[in-house]
Amino acid sequence: MRLGIIGLPQSGKTTLFNALTRGNAPTGMSAGKLEVHTAVVDVPDERVDRLSGLFTPKKTTYAKVTYADIAGLDGSRSKEGISGTLLNQLTQMDGLIHVVRVFDDENVPHVSGSIDPARDIKIMDDEFILNDLIAVERKLDRLREEKTKGGGRDKTTVGYETSLFERLKHSLDDENLLRDIELSTEEEKALSGFGLLSRKPVVVVLNLSESQSAPTIAYEHKRSRVVPVYSKLEMEISQLSPQDASDFLAEYHIEEPSLNKMIRISYELLGLESFFTGGKDEVRAWTIHQGALAPEAAGEIHTDMQKGFIRAEVVTYEDLISLGGFAEARMKGKLRLEGKDYIVKDGDILTIRFNL
């Protein structure tokens, strides 16, 4: 999972990046200049810890999330859309974390001259809508040209795509975010290579100072969530030992560190879940989309496992922990054999049987 941290200049993007990654990237990125910091972090999951305690493996591997702190967006709606290099960074992200400034600091002037979170959210949404509109119009021009010239793809396919992109254009013309549109699985697949920015899931982070309460922001869009965060405070806490960090979180009544919160919310918005493999060699967490079939889960482990998939031995995390191991789960009838049509559930422990 790749999550891009975006926002207007001086909104605190890099501060949040450091809080989420326990990093120390410099927080003085130049306004409007493309810079990208990246870091890969483990997905906190106590189930991995308990499975590791059960199997005592040689290696324990958590699921991973990549954060990219992306500077370069400044809210200026260019008629040509977002520049190619910056756009390439944004389209690679599975989801976005939009940092919106709520804190006031006379030493750090706001790029628009005043603090207005609702305005700043709209500025970024409008920029993405405009960029998507440019991309959709270009695609429609190519489809019309393809239809006129002929001799290319099947006319039914061209007609289907034309209808889909005309629907997207109509929505964008009305200044609607594309993630509010209901799409079929087939339509989602047709759009998968386009990286439309207003289609991506978004966590809107209200970046507060320690003394502030979160303002009420109405942001009722699909695959979106508004979350208040004390980024500077949490960046400082992230550098502490686990015990000291726990004490500070309790002192400031922060129930859950942003590192855990952002990953949990991102999993929900992206429709992701975890399954596990376990044994004496390695305990490992894997990330898949909700509704994935057993062969797809096998493919996450290795493409050969998906190609030669025969069946999966499945036991739930709760049953394995409570019974104490695979042998006990098998004796109690909790270890099941599942075929190609089995939908993997969050927390399943899988052993893949395959043959090539």
For residue 158, being part of any structural domain is answered with no
For residue 298, being part of any structural domain is answered with yes
Q: Is 264 helix (H, G, I), strand (E, B) or coil?
A: helix
Residue 78, pLDDT score: 60
> 196: closest CA among 187, 204, 205, 185?
187
For residue 308, being part of any structural domain is answered with yes
The β-bridge relationship of strands 64-71 and 35-42 is antiparallel
Q: What are the backbone angles phi and psi of residue 144, rounded to the nearest 5°?
A: -65, -40
How crowded is the C-beta side of 175, counted as CA atoms within 13 Å?
A: 6
Using the Cα atoms of residue 85, residue 82, residue 70 and residue 14 in order, give the sign of their dihedral. Answer: positive
> 103: closest CA among 162, 1, 16, 198?
16
For residue 184, being part of any structural domain is answered with no
Residue 80, pLDDT score: 65
The total of structural domains in the chain comes to 1
Please give the average pLDDT of every successive group of 10 residues along the chain, which has 356 residues.
Answer: 93 92 76 81 95 96 95 71 86 95 89 91 94 94 86 84 95 96 91 92 94 89 94 88 84 81 92 96 96 96 96 97 95 96 97 92
For residue 317, being part of any structural domain is answered with yes
CA angle at residue 109 from 240 to 201, to 5 degrees?
65
Number of helices (H) and strands (E) in the chain: give both, helices first.
Answer: 13, 12
CA angle at residue 108 from 107 to 114, to 5 degrees?
110
For residue 315, being part of any structural domain is answered with yes
Where does residue 225 rank: exposed (0-12), middle (13-18), buried (19+ CB within 10 A)? middle
Residue 64, pLDDT score: 95
For residue 329, give the CATH number of its domain. Answer: 3.10.20.30
Q: Which amino acid is at 131?
A: N
Residue 239, pLDDT score: 86
Query: Does an H or E element contain 315, and which?
Result: strand 309-316
Residue 29, pLDDT score: 53
For residue 338, being part of any structural domain is answered with yes
Tell me how far CA of residue 317 lies from CA of 171, 197, 248, in angstroms.
Answer: 43, 36, 32
For residue 11, being part of any structural domain is answered with no
